[in-house]
Structure 1
Amino acid sequence: MSEIEVFDAEQLAGLIEGLAEAIGRDHPHLQKLTLIGIRTRGVPLAYRLRDRIATLLGIPPQVGELDITFFRDDLSAGGLRTPDRSEMPRDLTGQEVVLVDDVIFRGRTVRAALEALNHFGRPERVRLAVLIDRGHRQFPIQPDYCGCQLSTEPEQTVRVHLRETDAEERVLLIDKTAKIKS
């Protein structure tokens, strides 16, 4: 197995800054904007985006937290996970929602998030913001806001480490098939 650091803490902060600027630019009416972080790492990213947008535009958008455990179609493949509560700051009917996640790969997480979102109202529009887009979709889902497109192989993993969840800041590319030469 090999690990390559793709982004360090400073570079990661730059990606988040770019996402915040793009979202803020596209949503001049922040009163209607709700950032929804997909658990686990999408939640701290959503709060960071809120803080950056507030600094840039003077008004913080609302933030919600979405757990998609019961909406996944691959529960049997990944082991059991204890679900968390989803928390929304308001009814999402008529709101402009930006779903936030750390990495998009096959699109299954976003598909589940869209289904889960229906339980909180009918948004006017839903967009997707991701830190890393690594391609290899199984569903026709593309991010509207992307920090970085990273070329990967399907058997590789991209792991985002955030201080809120991992006590460090970096992005790793992990290749489980790489052989260590002796």
Structure 2
Amino acid sequence: MNERVIMDETAIRRALTRIAHEIVEKNKGIEDCVLVGIRTRGIYIAERIADRIREIEGLPVEVNELDVTSYRDDRETAKATFSSTEGEQQRLDVKDKRIILFDDVLYTGRTIRAAMDALMDCGRPQSIQLAVLVDRGHRELPIRPDYVGKNVPTSKQEQIVVSLLEVDDEDEVTISH
């Protein structure tokens, strides 16, 4: 298997800093914004973005973790599980909030659809925006990210692997075929 690094630690850091600035600019600040990271790596991306937004704006932004396992379209029952950054499970209040959803890789769009279903079951947000570290194409649903760290055109035979320090002991994005 042929594997190569397409983003190293520096490239990931720069991409996340750029996304943080874009979020602040597009939303004219962070008022009523809530960051929601999809388990597993999306939450760490959301937390890193929250740290950068705090540096830019001087204000904290709410961060929540979302487990979409029960919302996947290959499961029969749906029940959202949100956790605050303190770890307690809760029902997320999305009413009139600008939700910024984070995931590591955008591929078919099915995980994002599941996440949006979970969010909508919690109420009606003002908007849902999508931020991804890597967009690899091959969408099966009409889903488009608002913020992208890196666009990587791929074949369906290729694999994108995101490694983050918090789970994998290193920051790196690789492509293999």
Q: Normalized against structure 2, the TM-score is what?
A: 0.90
Aligned to 1:67: 67
C-alpha distance in structure 2 between counterparts of 1:168 and 1:84, whole Å = 30
SS of 2:121 mapped into structure 1: helix
What does 1:141-180 correspond to in 2, within 5 Å?
141-175=143-177
C-alpha distance in structure 1 between counterparts of 2:74 and 2:172, whole Å = 27
User: In the alignment, which of 82, 88, 91 is matched to residue 86 of structure 1?
Assistant: 82
Contact residue 68 and residue 81 of structure 2 kept, 8 A: no
What does 1:1-182 correspond to in 2, within 5 Å?
1-74=1-74, 85-88=81-84, 90-175=92-177
| Deviations, residues 121-153 of structure 1 (Å, cap 9, x unaligned) | 211100100111000100000001111111111
Contact residue 29 and residue 57 of structure 2 kept, 8 A: no
Q: Aligned partner of 1:8: which letter? A: D
Q: Aligned partner of 1:129: which letter? A: A
Contiguous gaps of at least 5 residues in structure 2:
85-89
C-alpha distance in structure 2 between counterparts of 1:19 and 1:85, whole Å = 26
| Deviations, residues 11-53 of structure 1 (Å, cap 9, x unaligned) | 1111111111100111224230001001110000000000001
Contact residue 98 and residue 126 of structure 2 kept, 8 A: yes
Q: Aligned partner of 2:46: which letter? A: A
C-alpha distance in structure 2 between counterparts of 1:114 and 1:41, whole Å = 17
CA RMSD of aligned residues (A): 1.9
The farther-off stretch of 42-51 and 116-125 is: 116-125
Q: Normalized against structure 1, the TM-score is what?
A: 0.87
Number of aligned positions between the proteins: 169
C-alpha distance in structure 2 between counterparts of 1:43 and 1:55, whole Å = 19
